[in-house]
Structure 1
Amino acid sequence: MQITSRRTRLAIALFFLQVVDLTFATLCYNPDGSVSNDVPCNSTASVSVCCTQGFICTANMLCQPQGWYDNTTGNPLQLIRGTCTDKSWSSNKCPGYCVAESVTGGEWVMRCGKNSTSYCCSADDCCSDSSVDRLTLPDPDVTATAGIAPTTTATTASASTQTRSSATTSGIPTSTASSNGTTSGSNSKTIGIGVGVGVGAGVVILGSLAWLIFWRRGKTKKADAAYIASLPQQSQQRDFFPQELDSTVPHKVEYPQELDSTNPPGYAHGNRPVFEVQ
């Protein structure tokens, strides 16, 4: 029974570790370690880039609002350095560029031409400023949509925007760029999403704990009953079910008897010897 109890405690501990890991794996962090309102591009990966809910995730670890590639709702050359599920940002799966410009959130990234591999960290036209450092990154092919399961193969951003509806852009970093009016939104929606995820995880944990408690109690009762049933019948009655005396049956009580003074010891009544007087 002790072995069973240890196994049960171990199973409970492992279960809660998995729940905690799953809960915290969905959190995204800014470069300074604070929690972001973004969601992972790949929720099943150990470490993933994060973007605003509904944004496209690109192969060069950047984010972009829906519809920007074909210039229908924004600048197709303007992308965003998002956040990461690794709180320390030490993983190479995190976007390790344009970090110093904004450690408390995302940062604008400008592509210097439609087919260019040259980028710079700014919402303005930094490509025309020779004093600004340049980055060399691959094409921003679409790999997933933030908050949705990743696609099996990468597609171009133009094909993606033709089949997906536009999304809210509350996670776009603050900037003075002219596109702010189009892409600004309320942070209350993303905060609400974060709170909802936290509450949902708490309900799952509490419900699981209650189920495990009831399951363990039922298993303990069954084990006790099986143990008692395995004992010999006489042992059960003697050791576990002591019997009381029946008060309705009279018990023979013997009291001490006085000796008959007329009959010496050793002689029965009426068998006394007769002596003749000579």
Structure 2
Amino acid sequence: MKTLVFVGAFVQLLVPCSAVIKQCYYPDGSPSSDFPCDPNAKESACCGSGLGSTCLSNRLCQSNNGNIIRGSCSDKDWSSPACAPFCLGADTGGTDLISCSNVTNADNSFCCDHTNGCCDSGAGRFNVLPRDPDVFATWNNEASSYRVVGTVYTGNPTSTSSAPAKTTSTTAATTTSSAPTNTSPPNDSDQSSGLSNGAKIGIGVGVGVGVVLLAAIAFLVWKLRQRKASSMAVRIHPLSWTLEGRRTRI
């Protein structure tokens, strides 16, 4: 009888202890083996266990090898602001965040590890705030739980990533093309003197009239000379000899 009472009391002690350890979930609702960063909070971000693992003030996790991970959350629906709102489209499980600092020169610029070419293209890239997060909780090996040592960042945890500061050869360049210049050779008509048909006709008529006038003037001059020669011939009479041997004017 005493043994049964002892076992019952022991079970009652275990019930509240197990109630403290909250279940954590991934964005798709599947359970995870993570632990809440704040065991006493109603809702909390969750990270993996292990010596050297930490919860950051931006709700992300840092593993003992230094990787930044979006862990899980004690809110199964992930509607709580305590959950890390990053890389929610990843497959079941936590996901690593890939740093894009080599492209953006910002140490808080990240992409989800399942998004190919994100850092270079900027599609899906995001900034995590605060830029230099503090440690919020550290893993306690003896208690097998996290111990809160700081505060959670309460501002907007993310912002739109800016364009990459580093110029890469794969960046698509936007070029403005001007209208093509017509380099075809000009038509023969374009290479002419540029005179219109009317002008050409006028010149032809003028030349013809000029020729006629010159011919008429030449004819008049010739006629005048003929008349002058005839009149002079009438005035000058040659001398002739009469039969009597006298010189008379004919």
Q: Same fold judged by TM-score > 0.5?
A: no
Which structure would you say has the larger Rg? 2
TM-score by length of 2: 0.44
Q: Larger strand proportion, structure 1 or 2?
A: 2
Q: Larger helix proportion, structure 1 or 2?
A: 1
